Chains A and B, each alone.
Chain A
Amino acid sequence: SQQGEEDPQALSIQEGENATMNCSYKTSINNLQWYRQNSGRGLVHLILIRSNEREKHSGRLRVTLDTSKKSSSLLITASRAADTASYFCATDARTGANSKLTFGKGITLSVRP
């Protein structure tokens, strides 16, 4: 089953507005990551937040992590048409000696020019 579940599934906003995407997960994690995928392309890593961190910034991105609620949010400020993409959260769901990321279903963000 999916570890991370994003919401909303789809989001449409006007250029210049902020976009907020949420991710919930089920088990304890070492870190949570957000990735972007442009249509038909590979994934690009955006930001990683560790379980002992609560907030992290990178340019126009702001990520929060609430381990008590098992949730994270990704905020993109001052959105641009180029931000149009699918966004995935991924959790480090380590089992024993094996480390792997488990991806959520993704959020489709459309930014209207």
Chain B
Amino acid sequence: SAVISQKPSRDICQRGTSLTIQCQVDSQVTMMFWYRQQPGQSLTLIATANQGSEATYESGFVIDKFPISRPNLTFSTLTVSNMSPEDSSIYLCSGGKGVGTADTQYFGPGTRLTVL
């Protein structure tokens, strides 16, 4: 298994500002993902964080709005840029050890973001 930590756990931000969320895994994972979960909703995949290269974004998400870094196998950051109230959500990081398939994913506790 893998233990994943995120920080901050929550934040309240002003419109137009940016927030960077950090995700740390306690062991090496092959794949890392960032999800958004809006209140009472399911998880929506934002992007796959690729080590040492640009993240792979899902439809509807762009790098300018959600820049992602993954400098090594155990660490990744997601920035929510130029925030608006519509960005208020829980942001979840996950890691998987599968190779070539989406095997078991281990999730961080999430970052609860409120944008005023």
**A residues at B contact (CB < 8 Å):** 2, 30-31, 33, 35, 40-45, 48, 88, 92-94, 97-106
B70 at interface, CB cutoff 8 A: no
**B residues at A contact (CB < 8 Å):** 4, 31, 33, 41-43, 45, 48, 56, 92, 94, 98, 100-110, 112
Chain B residues, CB < 8 A from A48: 103-104
Q: CA separation between A33 and B42, bound complex, in Å?
A: 15
Question: In the complex the two chains form, is B112's CB within 8 Å of A100's CB?
Answer: no
12 contacts between A and B (CB under 8 A): A2-B42, A30-B101, A31-B103, A33-B104, A43-B107, A44-B107, A88-B43, A92-B102, A92-B103, A99-B100, A102-B45, A104-B42
Question: In the complex the two chains form, is B109's CB within 8 Å of A42's CB?
Answer: yes
List 8 additional A-B contacts (Cβ < 8 Å) besides A48-B103, A100-B45.
Answer: A42-B107, A42-B109, A43-B105, A45-B107, A99-B31, A99-B100, A100-B33, A105-B42
Knowing A99-B31, A103-B43, A105-B42 are in contact, say whether A41-B110 is a contact too (CB < 8 A): yes
Question: In the complex the two chains form, is A98's CB within 8 Å of B48's CB?
Answer: yes
Q: CA separation between A88 and B43, bound complex, in Å?
A: 9
Knowing A40-B112, A100-B45 are in contact, say whether A92-B101 is a contact too (CB < 8 A): yes
Chain A residues, CB < 8 A from B102: 30-31, 92-94, 99-101
- The one of B41, B43, B101, B112 in contact with A99, judged by C-beta atoms closer than 8 angstroms, is B101
Question: In the complex the two chains form, is B98's CB within 8 Å of A99's CB?
Answer: yes
Chain A residues, CB < 8 A from B108: 42
Chain A residues, CB < 8 A from B31: 99
Q: Identify the closest chain A residue to B43 (Cβ).
A: A103
Q: CA separation between A98 and B49, bound complex, in Å?
A: 12
